């Protein structure tokens, strides 16, 4: 019996842990991180297509005249992508490592709990072995006081229930251990994926930096000449205005799409509520009618019984009394559940534009921050809005001189509506703050956000650079409303 008890415990633990070490299948599994990345890329595809169409439209309206900075576009965009990927991977790595540590702590706590439960279970099995399996039979045949026998049997039942609960708890904790093993395995694989991606991105970054340095060496004199050409500066300004106008149109389309979506959702919810109310009212009226009809039938039968009773009381002796009617057996009243209301399908309207951007900032939120916004970068102002720009047009924004890689921050909350390379401005990011307000950040080495992303005030969105053929490293910053640039000095603390 003692060997059988140990075998029972071993069998229980073996069954509960049977799948714990089947980790070879993980090599064929896709990690949760990979699935989320694929879903995110699909979600971003729509807005990327619309922005690519805007870029093609701008390129088609431009002169075919060669621009030396265009030669740098591919390498500068690749450097930006690699830097953003490395930053994202670093954040993912920290988050995954934290999750892995939490799982390890949970695993240790579960292991400690299971050891205590195993010891308790082993003690119960030993006691069961010592007592034997005939406790209840012996007690019933003992001839003792029936009340005492009943009490002892009840206590034994309580003990059995406690043992069953203990077994269930052991099984549950062992299942949690197995689930945690899966999560740990997944997190470890994610860290391996991240490390490999970081290595690939670092190699890409170094290669593209070397490529850009070589291009700058061959184009330096040409870039210097083009920076002095007034028509180039004017063309850059017109290109920016064209991009802002097209983005404003996209923002309006997205706002209209969101409005239509909300109207459609509200109409559908109202229709469902109305249909439910009508069905419930119909069921209530039907229930009332049935109850009234049943009451009338009972009253009619009662009147009939009274008539027969009076007739039989007045009948002469020897006359067979008329039988009483059987009482009505009322069927239980069942209130019908509301049924879905069948509606004829209406003609399908033309599909509204898909809502691809993040939620718009509340109206008035940007103007409420006037004079209180922090500087977009830690740097020195070397060109202000409205000052002369060589022989070309006046500056439409502010240029901050700062070392390459300096963090660029959003001046206010909003959503990214553009993040791409553009002639004259290099790696450019534009944020919509609602109310027709835009903030523009150019010359960046790297763009850390993608179109559609929501950003907070002070959040890092880029790193400073001198992309787009510009001479000095830093940040070009603009504020616009209704497509028109205005002086940020009264809005942002420089």
Q: Residue 234: how many CB atoms within 10 A of its CB?
A: 12
Tens digit of each residue's pLDDT (9 = 90 or more) over 187-227:
777 777 877 777 787 777 777 777 777 766 666 666 566 55
Terminal Cα-to-Cα distance of the chain (whole angstroms) = 85
C-alpha span between 132 and 320 (Å, rounded): 76
Tens digit of each residue's pLDDT (9 = 90 or more) over 109-124:
888 887 887 787 777 7
SS3 367: helix
C-alpha span between 7 and 60 (Å, rounded): 80
Which of 125-134, 136-145, 461-470 has the largest mean confidence? Answer: 461-470
Q: Are 92 and 194 in contact (CB under 8 A)?
A: yes
pLDDT-based confidence at residue 12 (cuts at 50, 70, 90): very low
What Å distances lie between residue 416 and 44, 262, 360, CA to CA? 12, 22, 10
Tens digit of each residue's pLDDT (9 = 90 or more) over 91-105:
778 877 887 788 788
Structure tokens at 467: 């992309």
C-alpha span between 193 and 221 (Å, rounded): 43
C-alpha closest to that of 94 among 202, 178, 198, 205:
198
Give 129-181 as a DSSP string.
HHH-S-HHHHHHTS---HHHHHHHHHHHHHHHHHHHHHHHHHHHHHHHHHHHH
C-alpha span between 283 and 288 (Å, rounded): 9
C-alpha span between 229 and 147 (Å, rounded): 110
Predicted TM-score (pTM) of the model is 0.59
| Three-state secondary structure string covering 205-245 | HHHHHHHHHHHHHHHHHHHHHHHCCHHHHHHHHHHHHHHHH
C-alpha span between 232 and 392 (Å, rounded): 8
Give 4-21 as a DSSP string.
HHHHHHHHHHHHHTTTTT
What is the CA angle 403-82-217, rounded to 5? 60
Lowest mean pLDDT segment, chosen from 125-129, 158-162, 338-342: 338-342
Structure tokens at 377: 């970068």
Residue linked to tokens 């922005």: 51
Beta pairing partners, 418: 430
Q: Are 461 and 416 in contact (CB under 8 A)?
A: yes
Choice between 321 and 367, residue whose per-residue pLDDT is larger: 367
pLDDT-based confidence at residue 170 (cuts at 50, 70, 90): confident
Query: pLDDT > 70: what percent of the chain?
Result: 66
C-alpha span between 131 and 286 (Å, rounded): 66
SS3 492: strand
Contacts of 228 (CB under 8 A, 6+ apart): 390, 391
Model confidence at 139: pLDDT above 80: no
Q: Are 70 and 55 in contact (CB under 8 A)?
A: no
């Amino acid at each position: 019996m003692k060997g059988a008890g140990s075998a029972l415990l071993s069998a229980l633990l073996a069954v509960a842990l049977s799948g714990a070490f089947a980790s070879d299948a993980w090599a064929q599994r896709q990690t949760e991180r990979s699935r989320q990345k694929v879903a995110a890329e699909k979600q971003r595809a729509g807005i990327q297509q619309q922005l690519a169409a805007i870029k093609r439209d701008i390129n088609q309206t431009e002169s075919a005249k060669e621009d030396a900075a265009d030669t740098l576009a591919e390498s500068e965009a690749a450097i930006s992508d690699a830097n953003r990927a490395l930053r994202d991977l670093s954040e993912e790595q920290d988050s995954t490592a934290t999750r892995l540590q939490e799982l390890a702590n949970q695993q240790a706590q579960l292991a400690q709990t299971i050891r205590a439960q195993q010891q308790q279970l082993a003690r119960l099995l030993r006691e069961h072995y010592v007592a034997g399996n005939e406790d209840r039979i012996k007690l019933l045949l003992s001839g003792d006081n029936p009340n005492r026998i009943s009490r002892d049997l009840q206590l034994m039942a309580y003990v059995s229930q406690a043992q069953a609960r203990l077994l269930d708890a052991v099984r549950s904790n062992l299942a949690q251990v197995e689930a945690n093993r899966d999560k740990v395995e997944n997190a470890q694989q994610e860290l391996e994926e991240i490390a490999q991606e970081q290595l690939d991105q670092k190699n890409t970054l170094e290669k593209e930096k070397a490529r850009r340095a070589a291009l700058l060496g061959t184009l330096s004199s040409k870039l210097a000449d083009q920076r002095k050409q007034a028509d180039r500066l004017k063309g850059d300004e017109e290109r920016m205005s064209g991009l802002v106008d097209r983005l404003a149109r996209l923002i309006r389309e997205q706002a209209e799409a969101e409005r239509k979506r909300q109207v459609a959702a509200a109409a559908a919810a109202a229709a469902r509520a109305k249909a439910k109310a009508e069905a419930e009212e119909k069921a209530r009226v039907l229930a009332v009618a049935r109850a009234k009809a049943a009451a009338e039938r009972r009253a009619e039968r009662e009147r009939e019984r009274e008539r027969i009773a009076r007739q039989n009381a007045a009948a002469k002796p020897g006359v067979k009394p008329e039988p009483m009617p059987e009482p009505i057996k009322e069927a239980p009243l069942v209130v019908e559940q509301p049924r879905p209301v069948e509606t004829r399908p209406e003609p399908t309207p033309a599909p509204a534009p898909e809502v691809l951007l993040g939620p718009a900032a509340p109206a008035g939120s940007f103007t409420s921050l006037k004079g209180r916004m922090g500087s977009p970068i830690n740097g020195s102002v070397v060109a202000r809005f409205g000052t002369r720009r060589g022989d070309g047009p006046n500056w439409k924004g502010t240029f901050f001189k700062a070392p390459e890689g300096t963090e660029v921050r959003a001046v206010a909350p909003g959503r990214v509506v553009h993040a791409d390379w553009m002639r004259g401005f290099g790696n450019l990011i534009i944020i919509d703050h609602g109310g027709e307000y835009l903030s523009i950040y150019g010359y960046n080495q790297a763009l850390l956000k993608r179109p559609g992303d929501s950003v907070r005030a002070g959040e890092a969105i880029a790193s400073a650079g001198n992309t787009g053929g510009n001479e000095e490293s830093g940040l070009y910053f603009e504020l616009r409303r209704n497509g028109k640039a205005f002086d940020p000095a009264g809005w942002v603390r420089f």
